[in-house]
Structure 1
Amino acid sequence: MIDVYGIRNCDTVKKARDWLDGKGIEYRFHDFKLEGIDAKTAARWMKALGRDTVINRRGTTWRKLSPAQQAMDSDAAAVSLVMAQPSLVKRPVIDTGKTLTVGFGDEQRQALDAL
């Protein structure tokens, strides 16, 4: 089963969910704005994808952080930050059990089509 992590009202998450529904692909949706992100999951994302891929540095949540918070110097610091501010995660995060991707562009659609 595919796990889709995101925020329900995010346009990119909506596109991904609509695409998955249209293809008849079953998935579980985890709204981390409502349900949060656990440390184990966030740490796995940081290790597999890297902080630069997982953290959204273009959003308003990022711009509201203090310079000290923005200077996170370790994966552990990034994990703590996204647990406190889940909106910092680029969306959607899609976990197929074999692959882990962020965003929903051509590359992500091709990977899902290959399932």
Structure 2
Amino acid sequence: MRVWGLKNCDTCRKAVKALEGAGRTLDYVDVRANGVDRGDLERFFAAFGDALVNKRSTTWRGLSEAERVGDPVALLATHPTLMKRPVIEADGDLTLGWDVKTQAKWLANGN
């Protein structure tokens, strides 16, 4: 299972703690420290569309209007902390965020 997030993000820490507590082995990618491969960003955007861009973040508020209307994948490649997190992938399935539905999917029956 691979998780993309930020090590200082409360939601990401909760997700990692719960997943590890459920016996999952994680490959964690800190998007600030390691960045995100362009191919991964394109896959994520194909799966989640505009929901992938966290428009409530301080990074988003600091962008110019011209930057905001550009290619979202290029914007995420330049500013990986704009990505909503965590993105979790296992067995070809992708999820975004750590809501009740996502928790049920990854924590139920070792799925």
TM-score by length of 2: 0.93
For residues 55 and 25 of structure 1, what CA distance do their matches in structure 2 show? Answer: 27
For residues 16 and 51 of structure 2, what CA distance do their matches in structure 1 show? Answer: 21
**1:98 to partner: Cα distance:** 2.6
Question: Runs of 5+ in structure 1 lacking a partner?
Answer: none
Q: Tell me the alpha carbon deviations over residues 56-94 of structure 1, each in whole angstroms, 9 at most, x when there is no partner.
A: 00010000000011113xxxx111111110110001000
Q: Secondary structure at the match of 1:9?
A: coil
Q: Secondary structure at the match of 1:87?
A: helix
Runs of 4+ off more than 3 Å: none
Q: Secondary structure at the match of 2:36?
A: coil
Q: How does 1:65-84 map to 2 (within 5 A)?
A: 65-72=63-70, 77-84=71-78
- Structure 2 residue 14 is the aligned partner of structure 1 residue 15: yes
TM-score by length of 1: 0.90
Q: How does 1:1-115 map to 2 (within 5 A)?
A: 2-50=1-49, 52-72=50-70, 77-112=71-106, 113-114=108-109, 115=111
**1:26 to partner: Cα distance:** 1.1
- Percent sequence identity over aligned pairs: 36
